[in-house]
Structure 1
């Protein structure tokens, strides 16, 4: 069910889906993701429960192989969990058809990736408007101008991505993510290819989207400095969330990561 103005509206919820919790942008219940079968199977997610309110900025961290990428893919409907339930903006997506999932991603989700993923043959304005075009909506140039102004690129609308710096290209990607006013923006290592100063500019834009525009941001990162921009940092290990930190500094987050890595190494040694 989706809540709008306090009223429930029908969606493609499965009959056995648990009831919606009002005010949540992302909700995972008992989510598992297994690759392969038998002795060689890998449990990338081992029972994830998570509830993220609307208008929040959450960072997800963890050692290599902890399940961060799988978590993001399952939460964003890019991969299907082996078990459990995923809701976005109150809509149960776990049993959706691929066509419906694609429609939802285009109209109600925004994505920012490390590699920018801009189309080199299109102008900046055309790249920003692409989600509207793919969703079958009117290509609103005023909307494109508004989001480009928000990211400080009003004068770059006619340029091609190859004419921009890496930081400017990532700002275009943020504008593209904002253009549909999505329920959730998923960011996968959005500052991984940027220098420190440019990374801070991009993170500031995501922070502004949450604080001023009411957006919800879920960001996977390995960088404690990037994670410090979030309201909450969640730590993954072996496919489950094992720790969390509210409004932590980069130093506090780095210390938690070091402790978690040590704990993971110790457990791996015992298992061996």
Structure 2
């Protein structure tokens, strides 16, 4: 693992990241040289039309996939390079995940699910801290419940608590509200925003929902594997308008390419 340092106030940096699937005539470029820098303690939404590369961007930034080219730095340390074991350890130390599917183990209690990342990383399990995080997300009275005994919104709160317990440098969310009803989605987004603004956490969230994106500090727009826009202090209306224009531009470009 390369330990060259960037500024510690920078939570995430991508430098000319390309991701190509397949080879030869079957090659598909999902990311076409993306560079970005996100400061610590920020909440960023990533949006774009279907096939824009937003999920691939998240997976490469989070170390779930290796870029074909380019570098990824988390908290100033380069993640790209090194073997699978080193990459797994890096993710466990510095990265948290919240997915659309909650990915809780059905035979473990709420508290056991939350402390599992600490056990997997070989770190001391601080039960009091885990309980405090669960209280913070409104589940202090559900510690011994199994996932099946919880609502979808409650299960996603467990997933957020699990992501927070290791004190990661960046939490990545992949459509974290996609499986939730409107009220539960709003509560989960408020929790993520609270983690950023109260505890200085850094959150990067892929979403297709302008209302969800409006909870972020800023929105990055992708199209055809490239960053094509940025919106600070987003509103749902402004995000929806930008997405509509972007979809029209992409369709027009693709139409011209086929002529």
The bucket for the TM-score relative to the shorter chain is: over 0.9
Secondary structure, aligned partner of 1:212? helix
TM-score (norm 1): 0.93
Distance 2:194 2:207 in 1: 18
- Is the contact made by 2:8 and 2:75 (CA closer than 8 Å) also made in structure 1? no
User: Is 1:68–2:54 an aligned residue pair?
Assistant: yes
> Partner residue of 2:149?
163
Residue 25 of structure 1: SS of its match in structure 2?
A: strand
The answer to whether the 8 A contact 1:232-1:244 is kept is yes
Aligned to 2:2: 13
Cα contact 1:107–1:132 (8 A) shared by 2: no
Offset of residue 138 of structure 1: 1.4
Conserved 8 A contact 1:107-1:131: no
Residue deviations 1:122-149 (CA, integer Å, cap 9, x gap): 0000000011010001121101101101
Tell me the distance in 2 between the aligned counterparts of 1:101 and 1:89.
15
Q: Report what 1:102 is aligned to.
A: 88
Q: Equivalent residues in 2 for 1:1-272 (5 A)?
A: 12-13=1-2, 20-272=6-258
- Equivalent-residue separation in structure 2 for 1:97 and 1:147 (angstroms): 32
How many residue pairs end up in the alignment?
258
Comparing 88-97 with 110-119, which one deviates more in the overlay?
88-97
Contact 2:219 2:230 in 1 (8 A): yes
* Structure 1 unaligned blocks of 5 or more: 1-11
Query: How big is each residue's C-alpha offset from its partner over 1:55-93, in whole Å with a ceiling of 9 and x where there is no partner?
Result: 000000000000011100100011000101100111101
Q: Give ranges in structure 2 of 5+ residues lacking alignment.
A: none
User: Shift in Å at residue 36 of structure 1?
Assistant: 1.0
Question: RMSD of the TM alignment (CA)?
Answer: 1.0
Q: Distance in 1 between matches of 2:194 and 2:20?
A: 36
CA distance in 1 between counterparts of 2:8 and 2:203 reads 18
Give the 3-state SS of the residue equivalent to 2:87 in structure 1: helix
Runs of 4+ with >3 A deviation: none
